[in-house]
Structure 1
Amino acid sequence: MDEPLPNIVFLFEGETCNHHKCFEEVINDPSNALGPFDVILVPCQAWLDESRPCLIQRMPGHLAVDINIDGPKSDCHGGIVGGSIREPILDLVALTHKLVDPLTGHFTAPTFYDKVRNNEALSRARISSLTASSNSSILSRLASTTLNLQTAPNQCPNEVASIALTYIKDQFAQLPQFNKLHLTVTRNDVWCYEDPNNKFFQASIQAMEKVWSKPPQLIATNHTSQVASILKTTHAAPIMLLGFTKESTGSIERIPMRNITLARDFMVEFLSTIAQDNFVNTFQVSKPTNIHTPIPLASKLKTNYQTSRYLSFDWLQHAAYYCLYLIVLVFCASLLSFVWQYETIDRFKLLDYNTLKEKIAEQYNFSQNAIVVHGTDVSLPLVASLAQELRSLGNKDRFLVYHCNGELSPLSQRILHFIDAELDIYDVCQELLEMKLISPYDIDGYRNGYLKVLMLLHAPADQVLLIDASTILMHDPNILRKSQGYIDTGTFFFYDREAYAQQHLLGRGYTAFGSSKTLSSTHLHQLVDNFEYELFDSKKSISQHLENTLAWNGHSHSEQDTAVIAINKKVTSRVYPLLWFLLHDIRHRVAFSNKDNDFFWLAFELLNLPYHFSPWAATSTANTQSPSLYGGLGQYLPEDDNSKSLLYLNARNLVDPYDASSSLPHLPMQAVIDRLHQLHNSIPKYIVPRRTRSANAAKENDAIHYIAKLGSQELDSEVISQIQRRAARAVAIAHVQQREMVNLD
């Protein structure tokens, strides 16, 4: 027999349970040269009984729409905010009730079924399980489900998808507008309808009847084959959905051996039929370049099953591996190139502070004195109440609020300007990004703990006071600028609490400078011994202050408290390139600091510049009298006199209406008022007396959290009153913020 065999392409696709991921991309990829095809055969499970084969004449389309309803920004505790928000699951239940007719089970959009061909049966619309939190005590921030709709002949997939999306949005708009609706079409498979008079359909019927000795049933299935739909859409060829076993075999697909044998015989008979002369004359297939040319039949087609060439996805897998290997090589080469360029060139491009200062001066007016504070949406009550507190203490400095990459919303900025019309707000990350001082990839890395350096570099003022928003001031901090230490050095720093831990300044282990395993090679010693002084025209010189520090002698892992920092930028301009170098480079090589705590004094030390610390150690407060006090960190006035007055207390837990939340909560007004009572009840009554820094304090267990065995004394009534006033101001501003948030929604 010398008849030509038509080109045959076998597609082996095993991702049915994984929703046929990437199947459509592979089919449409021009490099695969699949097609054009004259007929497509797709085996499936469709028999209605155990003995009679089936041919599927009609297959419905499948439209799947993911419905997600978003509520609050995060999950909420049901016992705290229950009733104050509208739960997304309520909207989801109400919406799904509107979408499906409870009697017919059909989708309720009025025009959805208008173009369905007469006498076409449609299955019910199906709603997947409604999804919310499995924890009954949590109010989930979102609820979701999937609406599954079958489409029928004459319905346009894009048109019905548009109708469904519009209708769902319209129904949702009729609900109370507390939450947000998000719709995503995840499937839109086209329906199939094959003409039974089609020559390939007739050839299939003829082959089935010959092999099974009975004619096949022509059926309409309720199941949508995504593979068939994709092939039908991309190649526009007749699709023969061939039932080879009963659907009851299920996902285990244990097809009887008899059915497998007869299916093989069917394929041979079908190919034999279409290989006949009357078929060959009309069966003209464009030959893809990567498929073997037709081969002559050496013997009867029924006994020579090996003459057709198989094309599987194996070569695609090999190609994918080679591409992945190439991508990894390119990535590694790019990474090595980046590291080489940074280590040999970029890291030595030091900050030109004078040029930076000139650029800032061109855009903003320079001031003599300024208060600089970091603000976010959640810390807005603290920032605004700090501004009020400073003005009540008689401070008239320019008030600068900094944030990074949109941390302060337009609403928060309006509230700040309403409270103090003269304050200035800067997005320091965007400002320095425009000046090409930082990279867009680094922005988020500055938010948590490293923003003070950027704020100090940018602040358009000669004398700067960096103050944490949670700091409660008892006196005008301008008093620091009048101290002799500040006048002599242009700096005034405060000590952190004494605490011993093998981390930060006392860290041990591998660093960019080598391995540090002994006491003499802590991170602090490594940094001082191996720092590149020549870059800054300096040399190693250990000051008397450094030799006396607890960190240098292995007693405390931190030296500086950065709640309040006073710096005269005009007389300390030499330090800023080195300070930037610590932030930009060294901190990634040696983890010497808890955030930016020890950046400032170390920058002066490494440059051999003088700096000044308060003579007094940090103090702490508590509600009950005890030798060990656990609470906020405070500092006494620097004067060496008998007043022993407290300068500030950094205790967010005493004044924060949002209880140190990391994100801005939505609270009912009563909850804000109740928070004020909680704050008043938590005000401390005792404080550690004024003292000097001691290595013994660092030896106590858990000294990182409290000051132990150093006694206590009653807190001055004026300090308590100041804490109460600050808490009341912060809560009042939180009340305004929550009210404006509701109005904005």
Structure 2
Amino acid sequence: MPKASRSLWMVLVALALGTTLVTFVRSFSLLQQLKEYAPSKIAAHDQVLAVKTTPKAASTVITSNAEDKGESTVTTAPPTLRLAPAVVIPPASRFAHGDAPIHNAAFIIRGVNFDDSVSRERGIVISIHKGVFALGLSLIRELRCLGNDELIQVYHCLPRDLPGNLQQVLLKQDSHLEIVDVCSDLVQARVITETKAHHFRNWWLKPLVLHHTDVQEVILLDADDILMKDPALTRQSKGCQDTGTLFFYDRVMDGKAYFNNHASKTSNVSLLNHIIATFNYTEFGFDGPKHSDHLLTSFAHKQESCHEQDSSMVAVDKSRSGLALEVLWYLIYHMRFTVEYSFGDKESFWIAYELAQQPYAFSPWGVSVVSSSTSHDIQRHPETLCGSIAQYIPGDETTEPELLYVNGKALLDPIPFNVHDKHIRPNIMYNAQPTHLVPRMKRQPSRPQKEKDPAKRLPSECLIGLGSTPLPKHFASALLRRRVHYLAASSEAYELLSQCDFYEKKLENQSPGD
């Protein structure tokens, strides 16, 4: 390894291992001094600030998995819908496009070294815009380091969201990668107008991408997913084998918001149950509603949670989706502009399958979270963790619990610790050294709290009273590698992205004087 590259490597590892922002800033200044590479472009953490409410004024609800917003945030739930049931549900409308075909080659970009032999049957799909470019690029490298060699489709919406220079960086890094401008493609085909396209320049791009991609067995990933295993293994789960889908649960949050809101000011019926009862099934060839077993036993149906799905990883076999993707189109292109049934896109997937009467499967395990080092979870309340969402491999009870991934920008992207803003909560700030996670268990709500319990004042991201268990031993090294890749992508030190185990070798042959 050249001496300059070795020096850069050492700085990046020091950055990734730093446990305070002071250490990070001082080390990062060294990186900026290396003349071989451009200055870092690490941006400030793009957080939506929490809104303080009193318990009687409104429900405080977790809002999670916003890939272009960073870590989970808290928002104030609206007390009721703005519209009455008679006008709340727009007319059912099926997908149609104009004379121009979709999947126009003009909007699919491949590098000169693209491998045309790569299978299009299975693939990984990631939405990347310039604001999460370093996260997305480092995730792509992690997939390859974990042994995944499938086609990767990078989707974006309109040219401005992923400029040409960033596209070229992505294409040079991988021969099994292509870039798709889905919004320009659909505008050209007269499926949507350019004005409407702008409404997909956010988390709503993900379900649009699922509808558009020509890959059959799709795994959708968020750019801030931190993988412990190759996500392709989810296709081997019983749920995915049986239904062609695998969804993951979000936290159980008892609040009158989104699909758990009242359908009107004069009704106690939830919006979810109202949608299921009044959906125009005949437009899609069905006689009427047919409730799935999952729906009938869900916290959502029982009006005990305003969140059901965590969409940071979604596995779908499109060849087995029936009419679910047509219903998905209706939800994301029509209904969501009238009905706030979901915080962002995340509930659209399972609701589409439910309305389309198509079998679907959730992981047998509830959501977990990792400990937050900045809020000192383990020291203050070891039975209540408040960090980023984590998901277990969806095996059955006979399998050993294994961590599949963590959805956590806060583990990668530092923000100032001295921000004097009362809305910035410690548990969503840079999590330098998580040590524990909530044990694997069936989905359940947080435990009831005693009056003097210190966890009672904690943010709604916390899984209260559900316990903790140490993170697996390999988590630290996996996180370190991802941090080094993220910092390398942020600082344009792209040559380091080709390495998967450089930090483990630790320059074995380096002499003490080097």
2:364 aligned residue (611, 615, 634): 615
Q: Is the 8 A contact 1:401 1:425 kept in 2?
A: yes
Once the 2 structures are TM-superposed, how far is the Cα of residue 516 of structure 1 from its aligned partner? 5.4
Q: Indicate yes or no: 2:403 matched with 1:646.
A: yes
How many aligned positions are there?
372
TM-score for the superposition, normalised by structure 2: 0.67
Partner residue, 1:350: 94
Shift of 1:590: 2.0
Aligned partner of 1:379 in structure 2 is: 132
Q: Decide which structure has the larger Cα Rg and report it.
A: 1
The residue number in structure 1 matching 2:258 is 504
Residue among 261, 268, 271 paired with 1:523: 271
Note the C-alpha offset of 1:531: 1.0
Q: Identity rate of aligned residues, in percent?
A: 31
Contact 1:500–1:698 at 8 Å: present in 2 too? no
1:609 shift after superposition: 0.9
Q: Equivalent residue for 2:122?
A: 369
Q: Do 2:150 and 2:176's aligned partners in 1 also have CA atoms closer than 8 Å?
A: no
In structure 1, what residue type is equivalent to 2:127? H
Given candidates 112, 136, 157, the residue that maps to 1:404 is 157
Find the aligned partners of 2:262 and 2:203 in 1 and give their Cα distance: 22
2:391 to 621, 625, 635: 635
Give yes or no for contact 1:683–1:723 (8 Å, CA) kept in 2: no
Cα 1:442–1:702, aligned 2, differ >3 Å: closer, same or farther? Answer: farther
Q: Which of 195, 208, 211 is the equivalent residue of 1:457?
A: 211
Distance 2:172 2:492 in 1: 11
How much has 1:588 moved relative to structure 2? 2.3
CA distance in 2: counterparts of 1:602 and 1:357, whole angstroms = 30
Amino acid at match of 2:222: D
Map 1:247-646 to 2 at 5 A. 349-352=93-96, 359-360=102-103, 367-405=120-158, 406-508=160-262, 510=264, 515=265, 517-518=267-268, 521-538=269-286, 539-622=288-371, 623=373, 624-625=377-378, 626-640=382-396, 641-646=398-403
- Is contact 1:373–1:467 with CA below 8 Å preserved after alignment? yes
Counting strand residues as a fraction of each chain, which structure ranks higher? Answer: 1
Inter-CA distance 499–468: structure 2 relative to 1 (3 Å threshold): same
User: What TM-score, normalized to structure 1?
Assistant: 0.47
Matched, 1:715 2:471: yes
Matched, 1:693 2:447: no
Change (3 A) 1:486 1:703: farther
Shift of 1:358: 7.0
How many angstroms does 1:379 deviate by?
A: 0.8
- Call closer, same or farther: CA 1:442–1:503 in 2, change over 3 Å: same
Q: Residue deviations 1:83-130, cap 9 Å, x none?
A: x9xxxxxxxxxxxxxxxxxxxxxxxxxxxxxxxxxxxxxxxxxxxxxx
- Amino acid paired to 1:486: C
Change beyond 3 A, Cα 1:350–1:468: same
Secondary structure at the residue paired with 2:492? helix
1:356 Cα offset (Å): 11
Report the CA distance between 1:421 and its aligned residue.
Answer: 3.9
Q: Distance in 1 between matches of 2:446 and 2:413?
A: 33
Cα gap change, 1:657 to 1:431, in 2 (>3 Å): farther
| Aligned counterparts of 2:441 and 2:100: Cα–Cα separation in 1 | 40
* Secondary structure of the structure 2 residue equivalent to 1:566: strand
Say if 1:465 and 1:564, in contact at 8 Å, map to a contact too: yes
Rounded Cα–Cα distance in structure 1 between residues aligned with 2:267 and 2:169: 52
For 1:427 and 1:361, the matched residues in 2 are separated by 10
CA distance in 2, matches of 1:440, 1:592: 24
AA partner of residue 575 (structure 1)? A
Deviation at 1:348, TM superposition (A): 5.2
**In the TM superposition, what is the alpha-carbon distance from 1:459 to its structure 2 partner?**
1.3
Q: CA deviation at 1:651?
A: 0.5
Residues in 2 aligned to 1:421 and 1:569: alpha-carbon distance in whole angstroms = 24
Q: Matched residues in 2 for 1:698 and 1:487: separation?
A: 37
Q: 1:692 to 1:720 in 2, by over 3 A?
A: same
> In structure 1, the residue corresponding to 2:161 is in which secondary structure?
coil
Please give the alpha-carbon distance, in whole angstroms, between the structure 2 residues aligned to 1:438 and 1:398: 27
Report the Cα offset of residue 359 of structure 1: 3.8
The answer (yes or no) to whether the contact 1:371–1:467 under 8 Å persists in 2 is yes
SS in structure 2 at match of 1:399: strand
Which structure has the higher relative contact order (CA within 8 Å, separation 6+)?
A: 2
Q: Quote how far apart the aligned CAs of 1:349 are.
A: 4.6
Amino acid in the other structure paired with 1:630 = C
Q: 1:720 to 1:550 in 2, by over 3 A?
A: same
What is the identity, as a one-letter code, of the residue corresponding to 2:434? P
- Once residues 145 and 493 of structure 2 are traced to their aligned partners in structure 1, the CA distance between those partners, rounded to angstroms, is 22
- The offset of 1:703, in angstroms, is 6.6
- Structure 1 residues 437-446 or 730-739, which shifts more? 730-739
| Counterparts of 1:690 and 1:505, CA distance in 2 | 27
Tell me, yes or no, if the aligned pair for 2:135 and 2:223 is still in contact at 8 Å.
yes
Q: Answer yes or no: is the 8 Å Cα contact 1:637–1:645 preserved in 2.
A: yes
**Aligned equivalent of 2:434:** 684
Query: Helix, strand or coil for the counterpart of 1:614?
Result: coil
Instruction: Quote the Cα distance in structure 1 between the aligned partners of 2:448 and 2:327.
Output: 30
Q: 3-state DSSP class of the match of 1:360?
A: coil
- Write the distance in 1 (CA, Å) between the matches of 2:403 and 2:415: 26
RMSD: 2.9
- Distance 1:576-1:352 versus aligned 2 partners, 3 A rule: farther
